[in-house]
Amino acid sequence: MPMPRSRSAVCRVLVVVLTGLPLAVLSAAEAPPKPLETPKLVEASRRGWLRAGIVSGRITFAATRLGNMNDTAKAGGREERLSIRIAGQELAASYELSMSDQRLLVEITGRDQLHIRRAPQGDSGSATVDFRQSADEPLRLGIGPEEQEDVYEAASLWHLLVTRPEVCRKHLVPLLHVLDPQWDLDRTAEEVEAALVRAAAEGDLPDPRRWAVLVEQLGDERFSRREAADRELRSLGRVVYTYLEQLDASRLDAEQHYRVRRIVMALAARMDNDTPPEIATWLAGDPTIWLALLSRDDESTRRLAAERLESLLGGPIPFDPAADAETRQKEIEKIRARVMNPR
């Protein structure tokens, strides 16, 4: 059966902690940095030059204007520089904020490629935070100087927020706040997790195995069965969008590939900004999400996550939700190896 490429289904994490303490512990003990004020970016959004949204866990940009715009401001030890170029479907923007203690750089290329970097200047003591979103690549969050950087990669923004909540709360959320001060990503992630747990408790979860059967049916020799599978996949909406988009095309025949592309295009045209229920339904089929929930403080959440993982992996997992924290962590590492390297 066709399956998504492992790169897209797995959150890869490399963590280097020089202090000897877990990064999550350090993050929890420190208050997140105060979000930066970026009045030129806010004004550009208000005037329709640059508006950010989140669709299927990816930050997207849109504009209601055409042309070029350049703006600068310097006052009170702050200097802003903003440049935007919009021509048809082409969009490019660059923003720089320089202060005595830090520098912020935002670069946007096209509608969905983004680089944001917040770096300390002088002896501010704050960490460098670097976020990158490139086409067809996992999102990348880097923390710290390049030679000692902690790197987190994930298929989507929501994967990062759910699997690494403390790291994101301290470093990523304040950084993305500059794109839209109205975003409440912490609260959205909490609502997503609550929806996941509630759906697991009620047994109301999507079944990716059914999706694989339908994709297989798209290549059936009978036209009526191909049409039936096509209609059912379209009716599932956003929940199946990312699954279809990430299928390995080399494992599809010509008919399957043609129909999958058409379904993805049709679903994309109907999409708007993500909502917690839609995000939860979408993430429910990803083992890395439930693997992360095995570490939660609440035992009932751990138990539900373990049951869901067993369903997704097709068999029992070596995990006791009631065990002590050290034992659970050792069990989680064994399960992680199985999730990250599926056979």
Q: 133-179: per-residue pLDDT in tens?
A: 998 899 999 999 888 999 999 999 999 999 999 999 999 999 999 99
Q: What is the dihedral of CA 225, 227, 228, 234, to 10 degrees?
A: 150
pLDDT at 72: 95
What crossing angle do the helices spanning 208-217 and 223-236 adopt, rounded to 10°? 150
Backbone φ and ψ for 67, nearest 5 degrees, come out as 120, -165
Question: Which of 321, 311, 304, 320 lies closest to 198, judged by CA?
Answer: 304
Residue 229 in domain = no
Residue at 245: amino acid letter: E
pLDDT at 238: 73
Residue 292 in domain = no
Residue 120 in domain = yes
Residue at 172: amino acid letter: L
Residue 77 in domain = yes
Residue 325 in domain = no
Residue 291 in domain = no
Find the domain containing 154 and state its range. 6-182
Q: The tokens 């025949």 sit on which residue? A: 253
pLDDT at 31: 61
Ordered DSSP codes for 117-145: EEEE-TT--PPPEEEEE-TTS-EEEEES-
Lowest mean pLDDT among 29-33, 49-53, 216-220, 296-300: 29-33
pLDDT in tens, 271-311: 677 888 888 888 888 899 999 999 999 999 999 999 999 98
Long-range Cβ pairs for the range 264-270 (8 Å, 24+): 266/234, 267/234, 267/237, 267/238, 267/240, 267/241, 268/241, 270/237
Give the pairing of strands 102-109 and 113-120. antiparallel
E-assigned strand segments in the chain:
13-14, 51-55, 58-62, 67-75, 78-87, 90-98, 102-109, 113-120, 129-133, 139-143, 150-154
pLDDT in tens, 95-147: 999 999 999 999 999 888 999 999 998 776 789 999 999 988 999 999 998 88
Q: Residue 58: how many CA atoms within 13 Å on its side-chain side? A: 20
Confidence of residue 83 (pLDDT cuts 50, 70, 90): very high
Residue 314 in domain = no
Residue 66 in domain = yes
Lowest mean pLDDT among 3-17, 220-234, 251-265: 3-17
Question: Which of 229, 279, 221 lies closest to 259, judged by CA?
Answer: 229
Domain count, the chain: 1
pLDDT at 114: 97
| Average pLDDT taken over every residue of the chain | 86
